[in-house]
Amino acid sequence: MRVLAIESSCDETAAAVVTDGHLIESNIVASQSELHAQYGGIVPEVAARAHLGSIIPVVRQALADAHVEWQDLDVISATRGPGLPSALVVGFGVARSLAFGLGLPFVPVDHIEGHVMANWLTQNDELDVPLLPAVALVVSGGHTELLLVEEGPIFKRLGGTRDDAAGEAFDKVARLLGLSYPGGPEISKFASNAVVRKMHFPRAWLRGTDDFSFSGLKTAVYRTVEESSNPDINEIAWAFQESVVDILSKKAIRAAEREGAQSLLLAGGVAANRRLREVVYERSTIPVHIPLPTLCTDNAAMIAAATRMEMAIAPDKLIDIDPTPYRSRVQKK
């Protein structure tokens, strides 16, 4: 089964061709980050217009890279949400129209489930299939969620952020430090230049819950910058990153152990963070799966991976699926 998937929930216009939910034949991502960098964050109206400009070339490129024609496709899918509504409708509308025109099934896909399913992707035929039940930590610009993934798969929400998402904290702290957007890769770069590594920021553990909070940490960084005549950006970036990595890794591992998980999955843009990857691999007693950094940040291959899962779970919904309003399948635990 060959899927053409489209993703346009935020500031990446993406299309991918994936076979059998695993094998990536092409994966095209047109990033708008330079466009939004001048504003210090994403402007929804600007994002929507940029998606309109790039969606057709991106889809064409995805087919060309995969060496396939329209008639070689079996299914078309797109991100249904969550995301910026004005951005989502571009990819969703194009994908649904293509499916209509080609007479193919159309499958709307949850963006968060897509991030998790990136752990089932491969660029060659080798795939280290994650065992279920698993605990998944989804950390992106818009979300910080701990999910229990059971056979099905069924997604149950264990906890999540009470304020900023992890990626949002990286982006806002980068802005405080005068670094550019997106903040995650910038903070990571400056942190690696830190020499002294003695600064310490607080960690909000929210013990007894699987929830997270990053607003206090953000305020602590703000205070440090305000109170210093010559703040050391490298040291601050390092201490901030250590704090986030410490919280995310310990809470995710603890939840996985408690739930008797067979694997711990990381997903989302922040999972591209080198230090987070290193610490989770180091600390976890449970097998860890983290997608390649390019498959952690927004892409359409992950939406294609989740498409097969959607079809397996709800084949009756295949042809005529009510695409609106957005309804997550994630259940409360």
Contact footprint for ligand KG4 (CB under 6 A)? 10, 140-142, 167, 170-171, 182-185, 188, 268-270, 272-273, 297-298
Please tell me the distance from the alpha carbon of residue 48 to that of residue 9, in angstroms, as a whole number. 9
Query: In angstroms, what is the minimal distance from the CB of 306 to Zn ion?
Result: 12
Query: In angstroms, what is the minimal distance from the CB of 136 to Zn ion?
Result: 13
Using CB under 5 A, which of the segments 13-21, 64-72, 133-141, 251-259 binds Zn ion? 133-141
Q: Are 39 and 32 in contact (CB under 8 A)?
A: no
Closer CB to ligand KG4, 122 or 180, in the complex:
180
Q: Tokens 């993406």, residue?
A: 14
Closer CB to ligand KG4, 98 or 247, in the complex:
247
Please tell me the distance from the alpha carbon of residue 70 to that of residue 87, in angstroms, as a whole number. 24
Q: Would strands 2-7 and 12-19 be described as parallel, antiparallel, or unpaired?
A: antiparallel
Closer CB to Zn ion, 244 or 300, in the complex:
300
| Contact call for residue 140 and Zn ion (CB under 5 A) | yes
Per-residue exposure over 262-298, b if at least 16 CB sit within 10 Å of its own CB, e if not: ebbbbbbbbbbbebbbebbeeebebbbbbbeeebbbb
Closer CB to Zn ion, 26 or 140, in the complex:
140
Please tell me the distance from the alpha carbon of residue 230 to that of residue 205, in angstroms, as a whole number. 30
- Residue 90 phi/psi, 5-degree rounding, is -65, -55
133: amino acid identity, one letter? P
Cross-strand partners of 136: 147, 265
Query: In angstroms, what is the minimal distance from the CB of 87 to Zn ion?
Result: 12
| Contact call for residue 11 and Zn ion (CB under 5 A) | no
Query: In angstroms, what is the minimal distance from the CB of 25 to ligand KG4?
Result: 22
Chosen from Zn ion, ligand KG4, none, partner binding at 182 (C-beta under 5 to 8 Å by type):
ligand KG4
Angle in degrees, 0-180, between the axes of helices 233-258 and 166-176, rounded to the nearest 10: 170
Q: Are 329 and 110 in contact (CB under 8 A)?
A: yes
Query: In angstroms, what is the minimal distance from the CB of 185 to Zn ion?
Result: 15
Is residue 159 exposed (0-12), middle (13-18) or buried (19+ Cβ within 10 Å)?
middle
C-beta neighbour count of 211 within 10 angstroms: 18
Q: Are 205 and 217 in contact (CB under 8 A)?
A: no
Residues in the chain: 333
Question: What binding mask, one character per residue, do residues 256-295 give for Zn ion by CB under 5 A, x or -?
Answer: ----------------------------------------
Query: In angstroms, what is the minimal distance from the CB of 112 to ligand KG4?
Result: 8
Closer CB to ligand KG4, 21 or 184, in the complex:
184
Closer CB to ligand KG4, 113 or 171, in the complex:
171
Compute how many residues bind Zn ion; rule: CB under 5 A: 2
Question: What binding mask, one character per residue, do residues 291-310 give for Zn ion by CB under 5 A, x or -?
Answer: -------x------------
Residues that bind Zn ion (CB under 5 A): 140, 298
